[in-house]
Chains A and B, each alone.
Chain A
Amino acid sequence: MTLRQGVDATGTEAAGLDNVIEVGGLRQRYGDFEAVRGVSFTVPRGEIFALLGTNGAGKTTTMEVLEGFTPATDGTVRVLGLDPIRHRRELRLRVGIMLQEGGFLGDLTVAETVDLWKGLSEDGGRPVTLSGTTTLPGSFNLMGRVRGVDRRTMGALELVGLESKARTKVRQLSGGQKRKLDLALAVLSAPEVLFLDEPTTGMDPEARRTTWKVIENLRAGGTTVLLTTHYLEEAERLASRLAIMHEGRIHTYGTVEEVVAGSGDTVAFRLAGVTWSFGDLPSLDGTVPTLTYAGGGTEVTYTLTGGRAEARAHAALRPLLKWADERGETLERLAVRRGTLEDAFMRVVGEVR
């Protein structure tokens, strides 16, 4: 394993292969439209990195450059220290790709599709080691011979919970089932790097959890994963680090904690009466509140972004309570809420708009 990792395709020792994915100043233009406008990030070995963003943010384009489908217009891109286009042959064996959609032969059954991929992988010298608990026997029917399904193919199907569909034609699968099959194919040959483009879109909540488990298990086995997703919960659950993309740029980047911390905590309460103005209220760590007058009261909201994320809400409450005591006011319905990934996401999308 160290041999495979430590030596690049040209046979020379590649120092510092700790970053399995490296993207530097990536730009991607289609005609007049610049889909990616200078994106840089790295993914260390064995980490799950999530690219978040709205539709058209440039996530898929970034993935396609890394997967070797399109050459970068500008910038550098390395996967396992190799150029995705020039070293396509070397990378093919070590990389698993789950495309956003489609690409199946509808006339094949699910088991046949896995068999095909398994065979292609073995032809290249990458044996499939999965092993299922059951097999399906071969048989004959009016259309001719029906091939049996072996343990390894069943293993791949069991992994994603598709074993009951082994004999179903791919064109008859639902969207979520196709995503499961897609995942099975992507992980079949135990790739070192896995690209997952919206892996759980169209899946029911249970299937989504299964998928997460598969991805987490792979990561535990040392696989490096780059995934794009619309589901913030998914990124929060899986990713060690993430980037929020918008209009071809990365706006926020870091560990989930860092990104969430950047989105700020909120302190909200209500004061009786509608005569309150900014001047009457204390500034908390330099933050002025927003005021909304409703139903004979004033809704006050502070968004705290300064200071240490762990301590800032606590630090803000002391002067606030002191102010209330001195004034003899009650902070009605006082609520302190931690920032969420959604806050961070909406801030990026909102800011640019």
Chain B
Amino acid sequence: MRRAGSVGESGAIREERTAAVAADTADTANTAQEKWGAIMRTDVLHAVRLARLDLTLVFRNTTVLFTVLLLPLLMAWLFTQVQGGAEISGVPSTLYVLTGVPGLMLGFAVFTNLVNTFTARREELVLKRLRGGQPSSVAVLGGSALGALALFLGQVALLVIWINRSDGVLPANVPLLVLAAVLGVVLFGLFAAAFSGITPNAELAQVTVLPVILLMMVGAPVAFSVDMLPGPLGTVATLLPVTPVVTIMRTAFLGQDHFSGSGEALGMAGQWVAALPSLGILLAWIAVAALLARWLFRWEPRHG
């Protein structure tokens, strides 16, 4: 009786609509708004439910748990050990590397995880069944992205604790940090949808994600600043999709300008302004990734 009185989303809308038609004074704009409101509400509820499902399943699968959660933290530790120099862009090297680690986490917790999920569920007809059931396509994909966002933010929170323990630093600009995290998950969620489309089965997912993961490990400014790279390489690194996420998050974390590599201290407003070009690159990549996903993503295995 939780929803007593409501005939249900569509029933309620129809009731509403019939009444409006009968009265012939239909405030159609208002009704349409309510309709979209109800649809969005359903989509959000579905997405949250599916995100919770995804998290449950991640925690039930030891292999996934290891690759998704432990591996990036292990690599973060490794990166801090390998990094010999005392300072990068005026920041202690350990702190510099750790503030760049979200770039790696994005590759594992979000990208690899979602390529695996989408491919396996497509081949096992789970995607088809979900889409044939109550949730809309948006809710199905959004739910998985939301689950990945929760994992990613959880890891970033762990990282914040780690950094606070080792260097006594707390994030300077949490809203900017979270915005970069959300956009990063959107971007790599869309990339994952696109890559799942060219991955024939779940076993091969490890192979298809490899080039992207390698590029992210080598090209993302985790253990170096982009301007340390010579000419064209630096430009390429700047334009990589993962780079703006890393630089924005590092800037938001340390309250310093890490877009140019100068490392000078910035105020709140200064951080937002300095982040604008990177946000622009990020949004452009999101548009590209959305087109790729639209083109390549498949709900069902190929016929025959």
The residues of A with any CB-CB pair to B shorter than 8 Å are 3-4, 7, 11-12, 30, 67-69, 88-90, 92-94, 97, 99, 101-108, 116-117, 119-127, 143, 185, 189
Q: With a CB–CB cut-off of 8 A, which chain A residues contact B3? A: 122, 125, 127
- Which listed residue (B42, B128, B300, B304) contacts A125, Cβ 8 A? B42
Please report whether the interface of chain A is mostly helix, strand, loop or mixed according to DSSP: loop
Summed over the interface, the residue pairs from A and B with CB atoms below 8 Å come to a total of 109
Q: Which residues of A contact B8 (CB under 8 A)?
A: 93, 124-127
B239 interface contact, C-beta 8 A: no
Q: Do B10 and A123 touch across chains, with their CB atoms under 8 A apart?
A: no
Given A11-B18, A105-B57, A124-B42, CB of A67 within 8 Å of CB of B132: yes
Would you call B14 and A102 a contact (CB within 8 A)? no
Q: Are B134 and A107 in contact (CB under 8 A)?
A: no
B294 within 8 Å of A (CB atoms): no
Q: A125 vs B130: C-alpha distance in the bound complex, in angstroms?
A: 17
B14, B53, B133: the one contacting A11 at CB < 8 Å is B14
Residue in B closest to A70 when the chains form the complex, CB atoms: B300
CA distance A234 to B111 in the complex (A): 47
Interface size on B, residues (CB 8 A): 41
Looking at the complex, which one of A7, A102, A121, A125 makes contact with B12 (CB distance below 8 Å)? Answer: A125
With contacts A89-B136, A107-B57 taken as known, whether A99 is within 8 angstroms of B128 at the C-beta atoms is yes
In chain B, positions 17-53 with a C-beta closer than 8 Å to chain A are: 17-18, 20-21, 38-39, 42, 45-46, 49, 53
Interface residues in B250-296 by Cβ distance below 8 A to A read: none
Residues of chain A within 8 A (CB-CB) of B166 are none
Distance between Cα atoms of A144 and B235 in the complex (Å):
49
B10 touches A93 (CB 8 A): yes
The residue of chain B having its C-beta at the shortest distance from the C-beta of A97 within the complex is B132
Residues on A with beta carbons closer than 8 Å to the beta carbon of B300: 69
Is A119 in contact with B49, judged by CB distance below 8 angstroms? yes
- Assembly CA distance A125 to B61 (angstroms): 32
A108 CA to B61 CA in the complex, in Å? Answer: 11
Complex Cα distance, B303 from A283, in Å, reads 52
B18 contacts A124, C-beta separation under 8 Å: no
Q: In the complex the two chains form, is A123's CB within 8 Å of B128's CB?
A: no
Contact partner of A3 (CB less than 8 A), chosen from B14, B20, B124, B126, is: B14
Q: Which 3 pairs show the lowest CB-CB distances between chains A and B?
A: A125-B8, A103-B129, A125-B9
Closest chain B CB from A199 CB (angstroms): 15
Of the candidates A69, A105, A106, A127, the one whose C-beta lies within 8 Å of that of B128 is: A69
CA distance A12 to B46 in the complex (A): 29
The listed residue (B7, B126, B132) touching A104 by CB distance below 8 A is: B126
A11 to B12, CA, bound (A): 12
Excluding A3-B15, A97-B132, A125-B10, 15 further A-B contacts by CB distance (< 8 Å) are: A4-B11, A11-B17, A67-B132, A68-B132, A69-B131, A89-B10, A93-B134, A102-B124, A104-B129, A116-B53, A122-B3, A124-B134, A125-B3, A127-B2, A127-B3
B221 / chain A contacts, CB cutoff of 8 Å: none
Q: For window 109-130 of chain B, which residues contact chain A by CB distance below 8 Å?
A: 124-126, 128-130
Inter-chain contacts of A124 with B (CB < 8 A): 8-9, 42, 46, 134
Give the contacting residue for A120; candidates B20, B49, B60, B126; CB below 8 A: B49
Q: Give the complex CA separation of A38 and B299 in angstroms.
A: 26
Between A and B, 17 residue pairs with Cβ closer than 8 Å are A3-B14, A4-B11, A11-B17, A69-B128, A69-B132, A69-B299, A89-B136, A92-B134, A93-B9, A102-B129, A103-B126, A107-B61, A116-B49, A122-B3, A126-B8, A127-B8, A143-B60
Q: How far is the CA of A11 from the CA of B26 in the complex (A)?
A: 11
Q: Which has the most chain B C-beta neighbours within 10 Å: A7, A92, A93, A122?
A: A92
A105 touches B18 (CB 8 A): no
Q: Does B81 lie at the interface of the complex (its beta carbon under 8 Å from any beta carbon of A)?
A: no
Please give, as numbers and ranges, the residues of chain A lying within 8 Å of B299 by CB-CB distance.
Answer: 69
User: Nearest Cβ distance between residue A81 and chain B, in whole angstroms?
Assistant: 13
Most buried by A among B17, B18, B132, B299: B132
B42 CB contact (under 8 Å) in A30, A101, A105, A123: A123
Residues of B within 8 A of A107 (CB): 57, 60-61
Report the bound CA distance from A11 to B8 in whole Å: 16
Given the complex of chains A and B, what is the CA–CA distance between A116 and B139 in angstroms? Answer: 14
User: Which residues of chain A have C-beta atoms less than 8 A from B9's C-beta?
Assistant: 93, 124-125
A69: which B residues are within 8 A, CB to CB? 128, 131-132, 299-300
| Assembled-state Cα–Cα distance A185/B132 (Å) | 11
CB <8 Å contact, B125 and A102 = yes
In the assembled complex, B6 has its CB within 8 A of some CB on chain A: yes
Contacts of A97 in B (CB 8 A): 132-133
Q: How far is the CA of A88 from the CA of B132 in the complex (A)?
A: 9
Look across to chain B and name the residue whose beta carbon is closest to the beta carbon of A101: B125
**Residues in B neighbouring A4, C-beta threshold 8 A:** 7, 11, 14
Is the pair A88, B136 in contact by a Cβ cutoff of 8 Å?
A: yes
Docked-complex contact A125 and B125, CB < 8 angstroms:
no
Which residues in A have their C-beta under 8 angstroms from that of B197? Answer: none
**B20 partner residues in chain A, CB cutoff 8 A:** 11
Cross-chain contact A120 with B136 (CB below 8 angstroms): no
